Amino acid sequence: MNKLNTDIFSLAGRSAVVTGGSRGIGAAIVELFARFGAKVVFCHANDAAEAAALEARLAGEGLPVSGAECDVADAAAVAAFARLAQDRLGHVDILVNSAGVSGDRPFEALTVADFDRMTDINLRGTFLMTQAFFPGMVEHKFGRVINLASQLAYKGAPAMAHYCASKGGVVGFTRALAYDGAPHGVTVNAIAPGPIETAQLAGMTEEWRLMKHAQLPIGRFGTVDEIAPTALLLASAGGSYFVGQTLSPNGGDVML
């Protein structure tokens, strides 16, 4: 039996794109990838101050990353961002589709505009960004596509039909594309986090938070630093045998 390579999680020599990378889970992934040696470009939507702060903080530690504005639901904007990323990085080895929105709305009050906004960013954005970088990965016979789904793709939630549908679509997209990528050295996988302490939960009531804590076997919400290592695993040599999988760091909220 071969000895385990101690550099199995190294991303040295790799280049990565992370969408929604200025805050939350995306920012944690940007930072962890940079710490493990990757060159990273990330995009954000109307979040220039947070993006600049992340760039400055990591540059101060000798970890240069760069961000750019991009609406992932806009095909022209995605194409322009892809050109910028390739100019800065050359070939892109790793894509993390982390950009996303959430929200609740009773189904009887749900509008077409509500549904379209949710699916445009969460699902269409994942498709457009993957379409921009996937062919290059196939050509180079190596790639890692990592999509952010949600545990709600499996369990559902009241007043969140549009969100659950969009994240369920991400899971299905991941599984299907995995068949196309694997023969060419490109793995496609997803991460379905449970409730995480991010801005999306900041507005919830204390009553809701206590109720949700009581539902979780672990008894608390997760942190972004508990999700980013799953992305590192899937991006590195340590995750090379994961194909079409959805990994679920969720505190026991869903047990598959």
pLDDT on residue 204: 67
Radius of gyration, alpha carbons of the chain = 18
Is a pLDDT exceeding 70 seen at residue 8?
yes
Structure-block tokens of residue 36: 């493990």
Please check whether residue 220 is in contact with residue 20, taking contact to mean a CB–CB distance below 8 angstroms.
no
CATH label, 15-247, candidates 3.40.50.720, 3.40.630.30, 3.30.930.10, 3.40.640.10: 3.40.50.720
pLDDT on residue 1: 41
Per the model's pLDDT, the better-predicted residue between 176 and 4 turns out to be: 176
Active site residue 179: no
Q: Which of 154, 163, 179, 241 is catalytic?
A: 163
Please check whether residue 158 is in contact with residue 108, taking contact to mean a CB–CB distance below 8 angstroms.
no
Is a pLDDT exceeding 60 seen at residue 2?
no
Helix axis angle for 228-235 and 24-35, nearest 10°, is 50
Instruction: Show me where the domains of the chain are located.
Output: 15-247
This prediction has a pTM of: 0.95
133-151 mean pLDDT: 98
Outline where 109-249 has alpha helix (H): 112-119, 125-140, 152-155, 161-181, 199-202, 206-215, 228-235
Residue owning tokens 């090379």: 240
